[in-house]
Amino acid sequence: MPTTVISGFTHNFLGKAPVWYKQVILLFLAVNPIVMYTLGSGTAGWLLIAEFIFTLAMALKCYPLLPGGLLAVEALLIGLTSPEAVYLEVLTNFPVILLLMFMVAGIYFMKELLLVTFTQILVGVRSKSALSLLFCSAAALLSAFLDALTVTAVIISVAVGFFSVYHKVASGKGYQHADHNTSSDEEVIELHREDLENFRAFLRSLLMHGAVGTALGGVTTMVGEPQNLLIAKVVGWDFAGFFMSMAPVSLPVLVAGLFTCWALEKLRWFGYGGRLPKPVRRVLEEFADNERAKRTKADQAALWVQAAAALILVAGLAFHLAEVGLIGLLVIILITSFTGITDEHQIGKAFQESLPFTSLLVVFFAVVAVIHDQHLFKPIIDYVLSLPASQQPGMFFIANGFLSMISDNVFVATVYISEVKQALDAGAISVEHFRDLAVAINTGTNLPSVATPNGQAAFLFLLTSAVAPLVRLSYGRMVVMAFPYTVVMSGVGLYMVINHI
């Protein structure tokens, strides 16, 4: 514990982050002004980008909003950009902020419907290959219309719930037992230990299939990922236009991804193929039946309301009846009004998942403002645009893919689409070629980013969730399990970008 006020400050700075991490961030903050005034704003800008990518890559040590926000504030103070430039970036991308604020919160109120859906899939399908395909396909379909983070959250909720149920039984308790520590195996009966480990392997593979499914579906539509809407707004695509433009790349990748899911379960490679032990299945089926019997008429009515809201959501997006974020707000109003959710604090919980990332996105825009004001990416963009036109989409796909593996794909997409738009405005490229490059940027940031938890918000969310330690899903294991998907999705995506757009 701190013994002086000074030690209290050092203890409080960035909370529970490792001491070495705190020291590195302080070093960044100390060095940036020196570099700015000795080596110039261009060098300082590139250093800031490297530092910001470091905070994204180290997201497990500290949420990037805090260190990244400090770097962005310092960039404003030393003159790398201005508050007006940051505000302009935020204003330009306001539809994306609306999406995160209201669409994610709207889908939060559909969780019961999604939980019932995934529960029925898990309990009702006995073939592991078919079950994995269904999980992956359902996650892909839902992520194309809903929010990938919420879909991932639902899958996590199902996994945590079922793991808790069996862990209690394996510890000699009833699944209704309230006071139980699922993170400790000390009370697990020796007879059940092997089944418990097999159940962990089973859940790990399902969680990874589901997370990859959110990436497969997320690339296809303008609401699948935050950067999709940003790109769609810059290019001028509506929902149908975005889908049709991405289809030559996204649909072959979807087929290849689903085939990979099936093959991994059959071959049992890279940690996949774990089967659900029969004793575990009996416990879960009994639990699901018990939950179904407890469902009241009011609960059933709420599920019907959520299903109706889901149909309205899909129709609103497909026909572009309003801005995406406003459709999300409509979903919030409809579901809360007709399911009896009237308490302000109860409604406020829906916004807890989205607002931290929304705040981080504004910090992204501050860094993008630095890039624009200092023209940092102009030489890179000029070089790529000097290549033959047929090579440019592939180069953009590769560049975006590599950066998205180590940092956040929303940040990477924001930077590249903004720079290419400037090239279009300057008359360096045609509108048709600009659209081809937009396809390459969108697919390049969405597909290869599954390689690590740093690139995909859904993967990072899974890694930092309560279920990861329960099923022994570590950073390294996620990278290994994602590897075959990364190779297939990136390879097929790059081939289609080069040859079919």
> Are 184 and 112 contacting, i.e. CB atoms less than 8 angstroms apart?
no
Neighbours of 47 (CB within 10 A): 17
Instruction: Compute the distance between CA of residue 79 and CA of residue 75 in angstroms, rounded to an integer.
Output: 6
Regarding predicted confidence, which is higher, 220 or 324?
A: 220
Query: What tokens does 11 get?
Result: 């203890």
- Tokens 């899958």 map to which residue? 155
Instruction: Compute the distance between CA of residue 124 and CA of residue 146 in angstroms, rounded to an integer.
Output: 24
Q: How far is CA 391 from CA 386, 397, 405, 469, in A?
A: 10, 10, 22, 44
Query: What tokens does 354 get?
Result: 């989205």
State the average pLDDT over residues 10-22: 89
**Per-residue pLDDT tens for 273-285?**
888 888 888 888 8
Our CA angle for 429, 435, 436, nearest 5°, is: 90
**Per-residue pLDDT tens for 353-404?**
678 878 888 888 898 889 888 888 778 787 888 888 889 999 999 988 888 8
Q: Which of 86-90, 230-234, 436-440 has the highest mean pLDDT?
A: 436-440
**pLDDT > 90 fraction of the chain, expressed in percent and rounded:** 33
DSSP H helical ranges for 295-446: 297-318, 324-339, 344-348, 355-374, 378-386, 392-406, 409-425, 431-446
**Per-residue pLDDT tens for 50-66?**
898 888 778 778 888 89
State the average pLDDT over residues 120-126: 82
Q: Out of 91-100, 270-279, 359-368, 412-421, which region has the weakest mean confidence (pLDDT)?
A: 91-100
Q: How far is CA 236 from CA 228, 372, 427, in A?
A: 12, 21, 17
Place 344 in a pLDDT band, splitting at 50, 70 and 90.
confident
Residue 431 confidence (pLDDT) above 80: yes
**Per-residue pLDDT tens for 441-467?**
999 999 998 998 877 777 877 887 778
Regarding predicted confidence, which is higher, 172 or 267?
A: 267
The average confidence (pLDDT) of the chain is: 86
What pLDDT score was predicted for residue 48? 93
What pLDDT score was predicted for residue 338? 93
Q: How far is CA 423 from CA 231, 246, 430, 458, in A?
A: 15, 21, 9, 32
Instruction: Compute the distance between CA of residue 127 and CA of residue 206 in angstroms, rounded to an integer.
Output: 13
Regarding predicted confidence, which is higher, 449 or 1?
A: 449
Regarding predicted confidence, which is higher, 75 or 157?
A: 75
State the average pLDDT over residues 27-54: 92
What pLDDT score was predicted for residue 174? 66
State the average pLDDT over residues 100-111: 80
The single-letter DSSP state of residue 275 is: -
Instruction: Compute the distance between CA of residue 356 and CA of residue 485 in angstroms, rounded to an integer.
Output: 29
> Are 141 and 217 contacting, i.e. CB atoms less than 8 angstroms apart?
yes
> Are 424 and 434 contacting, i.e. CB atoms less than 8 angstroms apart?
yes
Q: Hey, is 171 helix, strand or coil? A: coil
- Tokens 């757009």 map to which residue? 501
**Per-residue pLDDT tens for 244-284?**
999 999 999 999 999 999 999 999 999 898 888 888 888 88
pTM to 2 decimals? 0.79
What pLDDT score was predicted for residue 94? 84
What phi, psi does 219 have (nearest 5°)? -75, -15
CA torsion through residues 70, 105, 96, 379, sign: positive
> Are 408 and 426 contacting, i.e. CB atoms less than 8 angstroms apart?
no
Regarding predicted confidence, which is higher, 41 or 313?
A: 41
What pLDDT score was predicted for residue 38? 93
- Residues with Cβ within 8 Å of 464's Cβ and at least 6 positions away in sequence, in order, are 60
Q: Out of 64-78, 411-425, 439-453, which region has the weakest mean confidence (pLDDT)?
A: 411-425
What pLDDT score was predicted for residue 113? 83
**pLDDT > 70 fraction of the chain, expressed in percent and rounded:** 96
- Tokens 């996650």 map to which residue? 139
Place 178 in a pLDDT band, splitting at 50, 70 and 90.
low
Place 75 in a pLDDT band, splitting at 50, 70 and 90.
very high
What pLDDT score was predicted for residue 73? 95
DSSP H helical ranges for 99-189: 104-108, 111-124, 128-145, 148-170
